[in-house]
Amino acid sequence: MALDLTRRGWLEGAAVLAFAGKPDGAQAQSAAQPFPQWAETFRPRARARGVSDATYNLVMAAMKPDTSVYARDKAQPEFHEQVWQYINRRVSDWRITTGRERAKEHAPLLARIERTYGVDRYTMLGLWGMESAFGDVVTNPKHMRPILPALAALAWGEPRRRPYWEQELLNALVIVERGWAKPAEMIGSWAGAMGHTQWMPEVWLSMGVDFDGDGRVSPFGPPDDALAGTAQYIAKRGHYRRGEGWGYEVVLPAGMNANSAEMAPVTAWGERGVRRAGGQLFPRPQERARLWQPVAGGPVFLLTKNFDAVRSYNPANTYALAIVHLGDRIRGDGPFAQSFPGGERILTLPEVQEIQQRLTARGFDTDGTDGRVGNDTMRAVRAFQTKSGLAPADGYPGLKVLAKLREAS
């Protein structure tokens, strides 16, 4: 299965489709005017949204649009992952360990968010870990950039989704007008997603919460506003149900279809022979759920409405499964009872570090040996796989790669 994009990546991927194969700046040919003239014609739209001329001039007068966004397809991850690889790489030993540390560090904040919005704290930890590695990449210049020049370039010159980018640029200008952020502080992905939970400007404006009481809403800095606003998003737009879970791994009776859109009470599924993996009882038998099996032969799940609430943050089932599973692992639960076909266990942090160290020693640059797997490590792994004849050369740093590296040494 191809790599499921994160919510941020889904937006970026959609934009890339419009630019595929075009060099930097070439997209400007579709714009009716040079950028300075276009910016002046766009000014009335900003005024209509309550953006003052002073704010507009501050942001747009000397703006140089970031036309590199037109060729971001060249920098997009080129890897394709099986579902088990996708889950393993995101529900990693580093994320589980770090998530447990953050759970203790921010226990009062998470409890307050849970009380206010009803969203399970471990679901929030899973989402935080997925979206920004618990805030670690929020201002990392390797991954983030000023979003206003990027949005301006997209609003000016992107032909297929221009109305969307125009609205997001206007939303970003309103944020500056409100004094919630200075232009230079608005750092994010090239498509405009920012902060601990990667808000687009519209989410910042519509769902943001001043949860730390400092007088402004911000997805940066302390995680209070970001986590509270994201919980509000999941509660309001995802219709999260307080006090319910996301679902269960289950075992089916022989011959039952493992995928069904029917939402039925857990008790009804039990009457049909569906049992919870591990033998435990269902704690809330009246929850309504549907059956889903990501891959034939792999684990099967009963998914409740709260799974869909998490999925509302990014319309991808595997993304949502990674979030809730990461949350469960941070909580202290174990791995899935049923393995994915062809899958491997999650590597420990020392094992990932060993892979990175051995690759680096052999001249394959992983950009560090911290035990976290990013695109640099995956490219290094794929180069090693190709050179050593290890197939498939998919860039996944798993047990087979570790064994081959040890053998090669």
Which residue range forms the structural domain that includes residue 284?
Answer: 247-311
- Predicted pLDDT of residue 12: 44
Q: Does residue 23 have a cis peptide bond before it, meaning omega lies within 30 degrees of 0? A: no
Q: Is residue 180 part of a domain?
A: no
CATH number of the CATH domain containing 370: 1.10.101
Question: Is 340 within the bounds of a domain?
Answer: no
pLDDT level of residue 1 (50, 70, 90 thresholds) = very low
In a domain, 382, yes or no: yes
Predicted pLDDT at 142: 79
Task: Please say if the pLDDT value at position 16 is more than 90.
Answer: no
Longest dimension (CA), the chain: 69
CA distances for 358 relative to 347, 365, 392, angstroms: 15, 10, 20
- 222 close to 212: Cβ distance less than 8 angstroms: yes
Q: What are the helix (H) ranges across 147-281?
A: 147-157, 162-177, 201-207, 224-236, 266-271
Mean pLDDT for the stretch of residues 80-93:
95
Domain end, chosen from 257, 287, 311, is at: 311
Any idea which of 106-110, 135-139, 184-188 has the lowest mean pLDDT? 135-139
Q: Which pair of tokens denotes residue 377?
A: 């490590």
Give the mean pLDDT of 44-61.
98
Return the percentage of the chain with pLDDT > 90, whole number: 84
What separation in angstroms does the CA of 64 have from each of 36, 78, 92, 151, 281?
9, 29, 39, 11, 60
Q: Which of 309, 319, 289, 288 is nearest to 237 (CA)?
A: 309
266 touches 278 (CB < 8 A): no
Count of positions (residues) in the chain: 409
Return the higher-pLDDT residue of 86 and 141: 86
pLDDT at 230 over 70: yes
Residue 298, beta-bridge partner list = none
- For 104, counting Cβ atoms within 10 Å of its Cβ (0-12 exposed, 13-18 middle, 19+ buried), the class is exposed
- Domain presence at residue 64: no
pLDDT at 54: 98
The answer to whether residue 199 is domain-embedded is no
Instruction: Look at residue 19 in the predicted model and tell me its pLDDT.
Output: 38
> What average pLDDT does the segment 394-399 reach?
95
Share above pLDDT 70 across residues of the chain, in percent, rounded to a whole number: 91
Hunting for tokens 């299965």 — which residue is that?
1
Evaluate whether residue 3 is within a structural domain.
Answer: no
Report the domain count for the chain.
2
Residues 6+ apart with CB under 8 A from 101: none
DSSP 8-state code for residue 5: P
- Predicted confidence (pLDDT) per residue in 171-218, tens digit: 999 999 999 999 999 999 989 999 999 999 999 999 999 999 999 999
Q: Does any domain span residue 326?
A: no
Q: Are 258 and 293 in contact (CB under 8 A)?
A: yes
- Calpha distance 28→153 (Å, rounded): 8
Is the pLDDT score of 4 beyond 60?
no
353: in domain: yes
Q: What is the mean pLDDT of residues 296-317?
A: 97
